[in-house]
Chain A
Amino acid sequence: EPEVTQTPSHQVTQMGQEVILRCVPISNHLYFYWYRQILGQKVEFLVSFYNNEISEKSEIFDDQFSVERPDGSNFTLKIRSTKLEDSAMYFCASSVLATQYFGPGTRLTVL
C-alpha cells in the first residue's frame, strides 16, 4: 500500500541553523500539507500546497518557513533560522481530495 514517507526521522540542530525536512507524498496525490506538534500540545496546521503553490498558510508559517516541491516527488519544508520553539514533531500529509494520509513525522530538536 502506498504511503507517505519523511526523512529524517529525527533531526538535531543548533539554534540559528537552517533545516530542511523532506517528505515524499503518495504519487498520485495533488494536495500536500505540513503540520507540527509541539510536545504535549495539539497538532497545528502550517501550510497546504496545491498546483505548485501555497494554497493556505497559518499564522505560524511566517517568513522563516518555506515549502517547495523541487522535483515532482519530494515536498520539503525549510526553516531558515531555527529557534528553540521550533522544536516539535513535523508531519507531512498528502491527499487526492479530502482524506489526508500522514507520514510518520520528523522530530526536530533545536538546541
Chain B
Amino acid sequence: KNEVEQSPQNLTAQEGEFITINCSYSVGISALHWLQQHPGGGIVSLFMLSSGKKKHGRLIATINIQEKHSSLHITASHPRDSAVYICAVRADSNYQLIWGAGTKLIIKP
C-alpha cells in the first residue's frame, strides 16, 4: 500500500479554471510538503504545512491532520501552471520525505 496517494493522476483544464489536487497519507507526519516539478525535471518547494492553511499568490494549500488529507488549490489557472505537483510527507519518526506519485497538470489556453 502506498503511504502517500494523490488524485487525480492527470488533470487537464482550461485557463482560468479553479484547480484542486488531493493528497491522502497513512502515516503519522510532522509536516506535509507540496512541490512542483517542471518538465525539465527541476523541483521547487511550494509549501510546507503542519496544520491549517497557507496561501501564496494564486496557490492555496490546506491540511486536515485528523483526516490525513491535504489539498492544493490553484485559482485563475494559467498555462504556465502546467507541471507535475507532488505531495510529500515527513514522517514523525524520521527526517525523510515520503513522496506521492505526482499529479500531472496541463492548463490549456
Contact = CB atoms under 8 A, between A and B. Distances in A.
Interface of A: 31, 33, 35, 37, 41-45, 48, 50, 55-56, 58, 89, 91, 98-102, 104-105, 107
B70 to A, nearest CB: 15
A31 B97 CA distance: 13
B42 A42 contact: no
A98 B44 contact: no
A44 B86 CA distance: 12
- Counting contact residues on chain B (CB < 8 A from A), the size range is 20 to 34
B24 to A, nearest CB: 15
A101 B95 contact: no
A107 B44 CA distance: 17
Interface in B7-41: 30-31, 33, 35, 40-41
A58 B97 CA distance: 11
A45 B98 contact: yes
Contact of A98 (B30, B86, B100, B101): B30
Nearest to A31: B95
Contacts of A99: 33, 45, 48
Interface in B60-78: none
Given A35-B97, A100-B33, 6 more contacts: A31-B95, A48-B95, A56-B94, A56-B95, A98-B31, A102-B43
A39 to B, nearest CB: 10
B95 A44 contact: no
A99 B41 CA distance: 19
6 contacts: A35-B99, A45-B97, A45-B98, A89-B41, A100-B33, A105-B43
Contacts of B33: 99-100
Contacts of B94: 56
B95 A104 contact: no
A89 B88 CA distance: 18
B96 A45 contact: yes
Contact of B42 (A31, A48, A98, A102): A102
Pairs of residues from A and B, 5 with the lowest C-beta to C-beta distance, nearest first: A102-B43, A45-B96, A43-B99, A42-B101, A104-B42
